[in-house]
Structure 1
């Protein structure tokens, strides 16, 4: 049975995602595979994720979208749904611009082909994995894993 997303699960998600901010994004109603995007995160905004991309990118048109997260240490997995829209607030665009972003877009923030998208998150499912030493041993030796102690699963807003 799915449990409702609580503060601890939200905290675990955002902490792990911040350490490994890559998400596979896909528009919901357009054929094609998801693609990796580097998320621009705001500590105070747990309702949205931002991305820089080019106007000719397959997700640049925006609309209903899904995002899949598997953090670097594989301690958190998430499936997010929401809407991608162009971020037009110049202050937000400037706030997230960095040397790392400029490495991908050398013409700078003023390049008309660079678009910032905001993924407004509407719904999420999050799984945490914490097998521990015993669980890892069981996994390596083919012994049954106790689902109750393997991690948690929650549904709701992040």
Structure 2
């Protein structure tokens, strides 16, 4: 059985590390349209905010209440984030986050791009680090108990 349950702050810190390792989320406004995969940029000076470059006519460009979902590279971490999308109007932030990977998506450069900010209001995070006994139960059958399966946190912020 797992002998330590991570605090919400520890789970949130793991989420940020996982997001830096694989900076992709599914994000969408809660207006009935589907979410789409987007590359996230983080600014350590602005906690609880994810930044996403998009075309000016992208479906999230209208702004509003939104949800974002994240799955870690190894399918060992999951997150669902609630918040609000709006346009980031600070040119210094735009320039700070612009890089070659972003530029590759915008053949005409910065004039075709819009920087969206997703201000996180709450998050639900799951780390699926199954214990050794839990792994054996998965192989041979048996019930995995909560202490063997994962860490789960509901947080008002991720920083």
TM-score, length-normalised on structure 2?
A: 0.88
**What is residue 39 of structure 1 aligned with on the other side?**
40
1:98 aligns with 2:110: no
Structure 2 residue ranges without an equivalent (≥5) = none
Asked if 2 retains the 8 angstrom alpha-carbon contact of 1:67 and 1:81, the reply is: yes
Alpha-carbon RMSD: 1.7
**What is residue 56 of structure 2 aligned with on the other side?**
55
Off by >4 Å, runs of 4+ in structure 1 = none
2: CA distance, partners of 1:126 / 1:95: 28
The alignment covers a number of residue pairs equal to 152
Asked if 1 retains the 8 angstrom alpha-carbon contact of 2:131 and 2:148, the reply is: no
Asked if 1 retains the 8 angstrom alpha-carbon contact of 2:8 and 2:154, the reply is: no
Quick one: structure 1 residues 76 and 45, their matched pair in 2 at CA, closer, same or farther if it must change by over 3 Å?
farther
- Deviation, 1:140, is 3.1
Structure 1 residue ranges without an equivalent (≥5) = none
1: CA distance, partners of 2:132 / 2:39: 31
Quick one: structure 1 residues 103 and 145, their matched pair in 2 at CA, closer, same or farther if it must change by over 3 Å?
same
2: CA distance, partners of 1:107 / 1:132: 50
2: CA distance, partners of 1:129 / 1:67: 19
**What is residue 10 of structure 1 aligned with on the other side?**
12
TM-score, length-normalised on structure 1?
A: 0.89
